[in-house]
Amino acid sequence: MTTAPALARPVGWRLWSLAARPRTLSLSLAPVLAGTALAAAQGLAVRPLPVLLALAGAMLIQIGTNLHNDLADALKGADRAERTGPPRVTALGWVPAGRMRRAVLLCFGAAALVGCALASLGGWPILVLGAASLLAGWGYSAGPHPISYGPFGEVFVIAFFGVAAVGGTLWLQAPFPTPAALVPVLALGTAIGMPAAAVLMVNNYRDAAPDRAAGRGTLAIRLGPAGSRRVYAVLLLLPFPLLLLLPAGALSGLAALPVALRCVRTFSRQPPGPGCNDLLAATARCQLLLAVAASLGLVLV
């Protein structure tokens, strides 16, 4: 277990806020917001209850996944002393493993209850989607082949924090009447999911050295620094041409393009290490700005 005598142990809600990684919780908000705006753009009368339940479920799964990752990495000895990211509360001994395990089960259990309520509104497709999301959140750090230890983490993020969340939110307002209705869901879901995957890319690029020592094979490790920078640029910039596949109002999402370009420029000069922490938060803000701007355009235009 690592120790960090220079760090003051937070207490109460500050401790659990640190464990939940609040700087990236907007990744759960963005797709629900975008899916709701897409429903409004299609002339649907948006019902607030499904939106709020979808947001609660998405955030509970993300927090549960983050807590489980904190716990699993500590138990596997993957959070080493040379790690440069934010403190991991289980590895530092600030939260005992048993207590963290109960917190994980509480988050996933609450998410399952919310999912049951959503399934009563959206039927079996929402039940299947919710179950898959819970399994993916658990499997991110658990099982013989955790997602976080392989090169497919970014694909997982695009699928669940992008396409699935946008599509599920829209479905809760009205089931898709035709296969053609999948086009805007896929376009908007991918556009929202790719910057979320860029957040993970920054995280794994920052931790490439200790992750390699812990036996991980993330995409950032497989690609190396130059390849990671190229993929990051694609993840942040490709969403903007995807907006062309949506109703014209979505082009207001171009307001986030200068921020995306600034993040790409910063990453091109950023070596792995603690300097990536600010870029990680900036990338999450870029995704939220894209979602808010595109959503406003879809609703107002």
For the stretch 236-252, pLDDT in tens is 999 999 999 999 999 99
**pLDDT the model gives residue 175:** 82
Q: In which residue ranges of the chain is pLDDT below 50?
A: 1-5
**pLDDT the model gives residue 180:** 72
Instruction: Work out the end-to-end distance of the chain between its first and last CA atoms, rounded to an integer number of angstroms.
Output: 55
Domain ranges of the chain: 17-300
- Which tokens hold the place of 200? 């993970």
**pLDDT the model gives residue 82:** 57
Q: H helices of 207-256, where?
A: 208-213, 219-237, 239-242
**pLDDT the model gives residue 4:** 40
Under DSSP, is residue 92 helix (H, G, I), strand (E, B) or coil? coil
> Exposure of 209 by Cβ count < 10 A (0-12 exposed, 13-18 middle, 19+ buried)?
middle
Neighbours of 151 (CB within 10 A): 16
**pLDDT the model gives residue 1:** 40
149 with 69: CB under 8 angstroms?
A: no
Q: Report d(CA 181, CA 271) in Å as an integer.
A: 42
